[in-house]
């Protein structure tokens, strides 16, 4: 079974909007949960969970727990991917959402270091691991829910709906912190206000579950059942029969992860600690930049359906290379408009690469192991591209300057470009002309 099989049997017209809503709502909730931790890891957790005489050391320790979720994500890919390829996409997506949601709510209930000592950061790390486990199973299933229901010639367009969950989730997460800091003082925010977004996630999860329980199984998975094509252990099948696709999928997603976490977590930390921006001022600039991220995702999907996913990602990756070379010149203090241009450009490029990447990854694996394969490749890229990005960039910038951070981004983009150029014919130009 090849990439041409994806979406060969489209959803019934009455179900299309429900399918797209389910894929969008779920990833929005998952990424909201994920990003409120990212924001708190910079603004709150260093003081409350990692007190130290050196604020920089506390920030690095907090960012280390941020990275822990990316270690958990491939484990979640293997776990939820197994059931997604054996039991079905729908039930597995519900379980992944619950895992993520419960972990997030638990963070909002945790005592701090001042209350229980070293147990506090240990519990925080455990909850962060749970967040990564859930998201490891969420993303791949949401992409398959969309692409496996897509009509011919619309796979990239359908596949971009779960991708939109990233900017929307980020926008909601950042907006929630801005609203809290606008209506309460710093003392109240640090004492209890930061907990509100984590606890509010419970209501969002309830909405997501209601939407997902109302959808049907995808046509591609029903066809796997009808043909008795399920494999006993999808994870081992991916490793033994599809190692080239797994490696290429991991590398072609690498620059996407590095770019995003440089533009969000690292940029927030550097902008508020070294460039003189207040927390609120920089968050507003980031939110404006995220609008560019959201706007370029559908543009990239339209281009990818017309000209091919591979070509769309090659062009975006070339843009990331140029951006990395100019990183130090663009990210300077003293000019909010200049910083906004930097964020808009970087996050706009993020949308151009993020829009088609889900569909392209799914096209590398046959339906019987597609959940496991696409999820595993995406989340392995998270380990190498995202988990270390804020930490590594902070260390590089502190020791060698922002030019080293740009070189780091260029190196990731070079690996991604090489992977895109090496894709086998099956996934090379699966465009709108392939049904």
Q: How far apart are CA 317 and CA 368, in angstroms?
A: 30
Q: How far apart are CA 148 and CA 217, in angstroms?
A: 10
The domains found in the chain, sorted by start residue, are 3-7+10-422 (1.20.1250.20)
Answer whether 362's CB lies under 8 Å from 81's CB.
no
CA nearest neighbour of 62 among 9, 128, 14, 131: 128
Q: What global pTM score does this model have?
A: 0.86
pLDDT (tens, 9 = 90+) of the chain, 435 residues, equals 444 455 544 445 447 888 888 889 888 987 888 788 877 887 888 888 887 656 777 777 887 787 788 889 889 999 999 999 999 998 999 999 899 889 999 999 999 988 998 898 899 999 999 988 998 898 899 999 999 999 888 999 999 999 999 999 988 988 888 888 888 888 898 889 999 999 998 988 888 888 888 888 889 999 999 999 999 999 999 999 999 999 999 999 999 999 999 998 899 889 998 998 998 899 899 999 999 999 999 999 999 999 999 999 999 999 999 999 999 999 997 789 999 999 999 999 999 999 999 999 999 999 999 999 999 999 999 888 887 888 899 999 999 999 999 999 999 999 999 999 998 644 444 433 332
Tokens matching residue 24: 């969008």
Q: How far apart are CA 151 and CA 11, in angstroms?
A: 8
> Which residues lie below 8 Å from residue 217, measured CB to CB, with a gap of 6+?
88, 89, 90
CA nearest neighbour of 150 among 301, 365, 311: 301
CA nearest neighbour of 202 among 64, 318, 108, 96: 108
Instruction: Write down the number of H helices and E strands in the chain.
Output: 22, 0
């Amino acid at each position: 079974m090849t990439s041409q099989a994806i979406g060969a049997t489209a959803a019934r017209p009455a179900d299309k909007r429900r399918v797209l809503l389910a894929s969008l709502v779920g990833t929005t909730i998952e990424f909201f949960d994920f990003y409120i931790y990212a924001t708190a890891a910079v603004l709150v957790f260093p003081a409350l969970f990692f007190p130290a005489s050196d604020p920089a050391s506390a920030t690095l320790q907090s960012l280390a727990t941020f990275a822990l979720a990316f270690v958990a994500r491939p484990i979640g890919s293997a776990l939820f991917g197994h059931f997604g390829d054996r039991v079905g996409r729908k039930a597995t997506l519900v379980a992944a959402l619950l895992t993520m949601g419960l972990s997030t709510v638990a963070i909002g209930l945790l005592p701090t270091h001042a209350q229980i000592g070293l147990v506090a950061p240990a519990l925080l790390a455990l909850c962060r691991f749970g967040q990564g486990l859930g998201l490891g199973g969420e993303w791949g299933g949401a992409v398959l829910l969309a692409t496996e229901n897509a009509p011919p010639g619309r796979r990239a367009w359908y596949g971009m709906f779960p991708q939109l969950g990233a900017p929307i989730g980020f926008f909601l997460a950042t907006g929630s912190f801005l609203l809290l800091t606008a209506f309460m003082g710093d003392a109240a925010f640090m004492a209890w206000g930061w907990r509100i977004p984590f606890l509010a996630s419970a209501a969002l999860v309830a909405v997501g579950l209601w939407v997902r329980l109302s959808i049907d199984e995808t046509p591609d998975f029903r066809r796997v059942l009808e043909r008795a094509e399920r494999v006993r252990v999808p994870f081992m099948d991916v490793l033994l029969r599809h190692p080239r696709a797994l490696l290429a999928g991991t590398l072609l997603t690498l620059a996407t992860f590095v770019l995003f976490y440089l533009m969000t977590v690292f940029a927030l930390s550097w902008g508020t600690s070294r460039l003189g921006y207040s927390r609120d001022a920089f968050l507003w600039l980031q939110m404006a930049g995220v609008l560019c991220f959201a706007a370029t995702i559908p543009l990239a999907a339209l281009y990818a359906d017309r000209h091919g996913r591979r070509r769309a990602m090659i062009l975006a990756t070339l843009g990331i290379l140029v951006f990395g070379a100019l990183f130090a010149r663009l990210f300077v203090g003293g000019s909010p408009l200049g910083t906004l241009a930097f964020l808009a450009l970087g996050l706009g490029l993020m949308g151009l690469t993020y829009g088609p990447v889900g569909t392209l990854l799914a096209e590398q694996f046959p339906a019987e192991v597609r959940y496991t394969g696409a999820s595993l490749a995406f989340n392995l890229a998270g380990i190498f591209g995202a988990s270390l990005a804020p930490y590594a960039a902070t260390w590089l910038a502190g020791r060698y300057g922002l030019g080293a951070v740009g070189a780091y981004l260029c190196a990731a983009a070079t690996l991604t470009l090489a992977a895109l150029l090496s894709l086998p014919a099956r996934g090379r130009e699966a465009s709108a002309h392939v049904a």
